[in-house]
Amino acid sequence: MNNGGAKTALAPVGGRQMLDWKFSQVFGERTAGEEVQEVDIISSIEFDRTGDHLATGDRGGRVVLFERTDTRDHVGHRRDLEKMDYPMNRHPEFRYKTEFQSHEPEFDYLKSLEIEEKINKIRWCQSPNGALFLLSTNDKTIKFWKVQEKKVKKLCDLNVDSTKVMRNGPIVGSSISTSSKQFIANGGCPSNDFSFPIGAFPSLHLPVVTSCETNLMARCRRIYAYAHDYHINSISINSDGETFISADDLRINLWSLEISNQSFNIVDVKPANMEDLTEVITSAEFHPVHCNMLAYSSSKGSIRLIDMRQSALCDTHSKLFEEQEAPGSRSFFTEIIASISDIKFAKDGRHMLSRDYMTLKLWDINMDSGPVATFQVHEHLRPKLCDLYENDSIFDKFECCLSGDGLRVATGSYSNLFRVFGCSEGSTEATTLEASKNPMRRQGQTSSRPSRSLGNLSGIVRRVKGADNSGVNSNGTTFDFTTKLLHLAWHPSENSLACAASNSLYMYYA
């Protein structure tokens, strides 16, 4: 299959055929027995619009950027490159580009709260020039970053002997002002009556800048703070290119990228009395095409589509998507497992993908009676919900993603597994892969799989929490509830997946 081709070439064949996933790359691979530092655990992954860059955020507040190496030689227009026919086996390859400390741990003195530095979400912004722009957020504060190559300047041939200048202008200025009253401090400047000769001063010259070595620099351009009382779970950039939203448990705020000192609250689900609280916001995203539409999901398993044109305060939704629960199936866990942990719009804007604890659901925004497709991810865990509740795993928030062509969906699971489903009409594709160098290891395996197959990778971690966290299902397969694959992202134009297994970033292609 032609992986490198444009998506139009890929669509007709790619939809039906089962993809054969291959390992591509791993960053930050653990050696056997290596203990994972909490701060190194990846907490967010995002490709940029073109797929040429990938960003990860971790619990230590760092953002790491990767850039694609296989297509671009930094010559020629990107569009020309896209038209070129790649060799058959080309697939996206990335290399480490740079990293920076996006957030630091903080302490809110007013509320006596510690604010973790963990990066909850990263979103790329449209680039207005060659530099890269992205938003990153922790629980409370959103930051707007610019990453750019900056020339390292070296000055020579200054007018004033650098040994005399030593420190900086003000000192020179003040020493001058004692000898000559005409000049004022700070670099000094002759007053307006200072007479300039016609031929000016030939002895003055401009400093010469040498050395054009460049350096990647990340600069925080804006900080959007103090707008959230609860923890921010999502940020999403609008297609109009000038606004974005940030959502916490109870509210969604609308920001202008250029204005950091004010935001508008557009959704507020906080009840007058907090005891009446039954539902919180779990995720929110802008429609990819229509700048006035956004969707947010709730802990009760519903997705609300709102139209910002209708009203300044969007507390009333224009469409509600939820699945009617089957009568009689209700149990203690029904509401917990219905909670949606992530929603994503497909690129076409027509479909939405949602992930709850047990399933992935694909919705058509024109059909609010129920999902168009439901994919079982954790059905085998249903008998174990009690254990999962006991060890809090039932509250894990798995992310989901769609392929750029909208024909496949993917989401993570336990034991560093992730699943890919075909969602085109008639597709039965359902692949389980493991985030390791041999992703297809799980394929076709059934009950015979020995429990030690997880090997040393997870042994260390598992020991900490003991038997609580692993379980054996009816087939005898072990699930390790501490090694969970929460975050993954699909390349916007090719069949390439990036997934985070603890502190390692695994990349696959098909």
Stretch that binds another protein, among 31-39, 103-111, 167-175, 295-303 (CB under 8 A): 167-175
Nearest to 50 by CA among 23, 12, 13, 81: 81
Nearer to another protein, 123 or 146 (CB): 146
What lies within 8 Å, CB to CB, of 128 at 6+ separation is: none
Of 38, 108, 114, 240, the one binding another protein (CB under 8 A) is 240
Nearest to 107 by CA among 136, 139, 145: 139
Question: Least separation, in Å, of the C-beta of 95 and another protein?
Answer: 24
Nearer to another protein, 150 or 465 (CB): 150
Give the SS3 label for residue 222: strand
Is 258 a binder of another protein (CB under 8 A)?
Answer: yes
Token pair 């054009």 in the structure block, residue: 212
Stretch that binds another protein, among 114-122, 153-161, 319-327, 482-490 (CB under 8 A): 153-161
Is 76 a binder of another protein (CB under 8 A)?
Answer: no
| 321 CA to centre of own chain | 25
Token pair 């207005």 in the structure block, residue: 128
CB 248 within 8 A of CB 233: yes
Residue 405: is it exposed, middle or buried by C-beta count within 10 angstroms (0-12/13-18/19+)?
buried
Of 76, 105, 187, 459, the one binding another protein (CB under 8 A) is 187
Is 129 a binder of another protein (CB under 8 A)?
Answer: yes
DSSP class of 18: P
CA distance 279 to 287: 23
Stretch that binds another protein, among 1-9, 49-57, 105-113, 303-311 (CB under 8 A): 303-311
| 114 CA to centre of own chain | 23
**Residue type at 52 in one-letter notation:** D
Residues between 204 and 233 that touch another protein (CB under 8 A): 204-207, 209
Nearer to another protein, 130 or 426 (CB): 130
Of 31, 112, 178, 203, the one binding another protein (CB under 8 A) is 203
Number of helices followed by number of strands (H, E) in the chain: 7, 34
Of 67, 82, 99, 242, the one binding another protein (CB under 8 A) is 242
What lies within 8 Å, CB to CB, of 448 at 6+ separation is: none
Of 105, 241, 271, 450, the one binding another protein (CB under 8 A) is 241
Q: x/- contact string, 311-340, with another protein (CB under 8 A)?
A: xx----------------------------
CA distance 249 to 232: 7
CA distance 482 to 437: 20
Is 189 a binder of another protein (CB under 8 A)?
Answer: yes
Instruction: Work out whether strand 504-509 and strand 496-501 pair parallel, antiparallel, or are unpaired.
Output: antiparallel
Nearer to another protein, 146 or 378 (CB): 146
Token pair 């970033």 in the structure block, residue: 505
Of 87, 201, 447, 467, the one binding another protein (CB under 8 A) is 201
What lies within 8 Å, CB to CB, of 262 at 6+ separation is: none
Nearer to another protein, 365 or 488 (CB): 365
Question: Least separation, in Å, of the C-beta of 148 and another protein?
Answer: 7
Question: Least separation, in Å, of the C-beta of 174 and another protein?
Answer: 11
Residues at the contact surface with another protein, assessed by CB under 8 A = 77, 126-131, 133, 146, 148, 150-151, 153, 155, 158-162, 165, 168-169, 172-173, 176, 179-180, 182-183, 186-190, 196, 198-201, 203-207, 209, 239-242, 258, 289-292, 308-312
